[in-house]
Amino acid sequence: MNVVPLSGFDLAATSFLIVALALVSLPLRLEMAGQVLVAGLRMTIQLLLVGLILRWLFTTAGPVWIAVLAVFMLLNAGREVSRRQKRRLKGWWNYGIGTLTMFITSFPLALFALVLVIGNQPWYEPRYAIPLLGMLLGNTMNGISIGFDRLLHSVWQQRQVIENRLMLGESWFEALAEIRRESIRSGMMPIINAMMASGIIVLPGMMTGQILAGSPPLEAVKYQIMIMFLIAAGSGFGTVIAVYLGGRRLFDGRERLRLERLT
């Protein structure tokens, strides 16, 4: 596969677009110029470091180092989930629920795809394993963080309604039914929108990358369909589990709403 190489000058030219965006935000008083510049710089550094690490992994293909990188990715994804909540569970719960949920959804799905669908040998070959797990973690993280945030924020806003329903004899599960449904819907909406728009409005990232790298378009399409199905399953199941666990944590053994567990 032939790829047109990009020089440092090429990347610098596109970086001026981010600087321009930050400058435009100043007269508009968006107070986001610093965030835009920091996000661009952070992304550049992170991707360059990942590129160096992957280049080394692709030559060694050691399963231990691949596992270390996978755990590192998972722990950082859990950190991002916990940081995106307006209302948070106290203690380690906010971080723990997000991390645990992503582990029990993204990792089995990645293993399923590598062993049973793609079937490459060895199954842990980093060229397949790391990008696949990264896409699953990233999209599952988005779904979980949105659904989890909607749950905690809605419980805080509707705390009086929930307590009234509990006093009427409903269980915690019944009292949270509507909030739970809306939270799960919110978490699943991004991937549903992405699937709806794929092919008609946008060409998804993995498919575009493969085509640019020289893969046959139909082969790139098949890989993209597989990835979208995996992402939808990971995001959907992850959101359902995270919302359930988060909701249960807000009630004690006697099914009383414990708002002191929120910050």
CB 149 within 8 Å of CB 89? no
- The closest alpha carbon to 105, from 249, 250, 243, belongs to 243
pTM above threshold 0.75: yes
Q: How far apart are the first and last CA of the chain?
A: 52
- Token couple for 170: 């409903």
- One pLDDT digit (tens) per residue for the chain, 263 residues: 566 788 888 899 999 999 999 999 999 888 899 999 999 999 999 999 988 888 888 887 678 888 999 999 999 999 988 888 888 888 889 899 999 999 999 999 999 999 999 888 888 888 889 889 999 999 999 999 999 999 999 999 999 999 999 999 999 999 999 999 999 999 999 999 988 888 877 777 777 777 777 778 888 888 889 998 999 999 999 999 999 999 999 998 888 888 888 88
Q: Kindly report the backbone phi and psi dihedral angles of residue 238, in degrees, each rounded to the nearest multiple of 5, phi listed first.
A: -65, -40
Q: Kindly report the backbone phi and psi dihedral angles of residue 32, in degrees, each rounded to the nearest multiple of 5, phi listed first.
A: -125, 5
- Token couple for 25: 């935000």
Domain coordinates in residue numbering, the chain = 1-60, 62-261
As to burial, measured by CB atoms within 10 angstroms (0-12 exposed, 13-18 middle, 19+ buried), residue 18 is middle
- The closest alpha carbon to 257, from 153, 143, 176, belongs to 176
The beta-strand segments (E) located in 133-189 are none
CB 157 within 8 Å of CB 252? no
